Structure 1
Amino acid sequence: MNAPAPIDYTQLFRLDNRTVVVIGAGSGIGRESAQALAAQGAHVVIADYAFDAAEATTALIQAQGGSAEAYQLNVLDDDAIDAAVERFGSAAALVFTAATNVRKRMEDYSMDEFDRVVNLNLRASFQLIRKFGTRFAANGGGSIIGFASIRAQVVEPGQGVYAATKAGLVQLAKTGAAEYGAAGVRVNVVAPGVVETPLTAQITANPEWYGAYASKSALGRWSRPDELAGAVVFLASDASTFVTGTTLTVDGGWTAIDGRYTPPAS
């Protein structure tokens, strides 16, 4: 494949005249990412299982002068994914953030809970990467951006199944990068640390748990959802034309720190 044209640095992060599909954009990181993409000129497809939430994000972007449309999508429905690819396969980028977690030790997990976490976090990711990847390849290129987690790298009790799905997503992204790269398709994942979203409400409701997580970060705090949006814009834009098969970690230094105790310097 020929290399892309030289980059105009004044347009490095601009997404004018490009469509980006954001799955899970009804709330949290997906909503913030959608706003950031729209602010850079993209037309953003706000896809979410909850259509009212998708409409709310769409209205928010339009009120800010951006371009967006709401779309209801159940990523557990293979036919629905096929329909989304058929309708939005000409997009320049796909972002997917939808995930779930059941925080239980392995011995306490039911297989129904296991299936629920694996199906949304891993099976749906597999379908999205290969379905959009194939269409993007036919179009001559595109960017696919998934959301993994620091749990793909480090774990704690009660995070086993969630961690396994996120580690699996990292490997799917690498494989997608390898299989579709020659056709100009880039596949990457963003790996957040602890972020204040509906998915972490169980933790934020517990002051001791919340504080322990905050102290683990090198920055001494949790992330806001909007602090992940820059990574998404980077991976969707021409600023990352030679970035693929990688994990962009945005964790406030969580995985840089060894242990939870700060020893004396001397």
Structure 2
Amino acid sequence: MDDSGHSNLDYRNLFDLTGKRAVVVGGAGGIGRELVAGLVAFGAEVVVADRDLAAAQDVTSTLEGARAYELDVLAPQAIPRAAEALDPVDVLVLTAATNIRKRMVDYAPEEFERVVALNLRSSFELISAFGARMAQRGSGSIVAFTSIRAVTVEPGQGAYAATKAGLMQLVRTAAAELGPDGVRVNAVAPGVVETPLTEQIRANPEWGQAYSDKSALGRWSRPDELVGAVVYLASEASSFVTGSQLFVDGGWTAIDGRYTPPT
């Protein structure tokens, strides 16, 4: 504090990630590649960890300060090996996920297992493996990607929604367990985002427009609009934030959205 009672922090540096190593799991995906670019822009050294090594290398080919690492999170012992090979890691971002849109009564057991394995079990293992090493060093930030489906559902989203709600509970528990060792754990919850995975929805004009109309902003999100939230949670700007879920959903979960009455 100075004589006026103000902090001596240089607030312009709050978002600076210079000297930090970040690992983006699923970093070759539509959202992941934007997060990689954003973290690099703020000074981080970024590892693009993805099961598609060629796609990860494509992401890193134009980004100085980024490198590719082949990681299939469902392969036995792949996560502990990655945690050891990439150590030390200051920031871990989890974006890898899958969805099978079916009514619960039509789900096959193997489909349910596939969604749970990637969305929930691998997240548990990643948080455990990387979080343990962060705790040993006394610092770190983990950012998981949940979804609006963690709190609100629609037909055909049962397994996906359950994994995202479960992931948020893992985030809260990890925040409680790792917080005393200086590790923060939070989540970003996107709404509907323009990525290759949502092309099926946007290809249906009625479906795509209905999703646009549901949010307060009346449109879909671009992948780059999620970068700010991740940089914030990765940086010292959020030094007292843990166990939280930051919605980047255009107001989807804030409003009713079914009908705008005359006023």
| Alignment TM-score, normalising by the size of structure 2 | 0.95
Work out the CA distance in 2 between the residues paired with 1:189 and 1:75. Answer: 19
Q: Map 1:114-263; keep pairs closer than 5 Å.
A: 114-263=112-261
SS of residue paired to 1:256? coil
Identity rate, percent: 63
Contact 2:89 2:130 in 1 (8 A): no
The 1:75/1:189 distance shift into structure 2, 3 A limit, reads: same
What is the rounded CA distance, in whole Å, between the counterparts of 1:110 and 1:183 in structure 2? 41
Question: Residue 57 of structure 1 corresponds to which residue in structure 2?
Answer: 59
- Give the Cα–Cα distance (whole angstroms) in 2 for the partners of residues 43 and 55 of structure 1: 15
Distance 1:198 1:6, change over 3 A: farther
SS across alignment from 2:154: coil
Encode CA deviations 1:104-149: one digit per residue, 9 max, x unaligned: 1001111111011000000001001111111100011100000000
**Residue 48 (structure 1) aligned to one of 19, 44, 50:** 50
Q: SS at the partner of 1:134?
A: helix
SS in 1 for 2:88: coil
**1:243, distance to aligned residue in structure 2 (A):** 0.4
- Count the aligned residue pairs: 257
TM-score, length of structure 1 as denominator length: 0.94
| AA matched with 1:23 | V
Distance across 1 between alignment mates of 2:209 and 2:228:
26
Does structure 2 conserve the Cα–Cα contact (< 8 Å) formed by 1:101 and 1:199? no
What residue in structure 2 maps to residue 32 of structure 1? 34
Q: Residue 167 of structure 1: CA displacement?
A: 0.1
Change (3 A) 1:202 1:231: same
Q: Please state how far the C-alpha of 1:259 moved relative to its aligned partner.
A: 4.0
* Unpaired runs of at least 5, structure 1: none
Q: Which amino acid aligns with 2:157?
A: Q
Cα root mean square deviation, aligned: 1.2
Where in structure 2 are there 5+ consecutive unaligned residues? Answer: 1-6
Whether contact under 8 Å (2:17, 2:39) holds in the other structure is yes
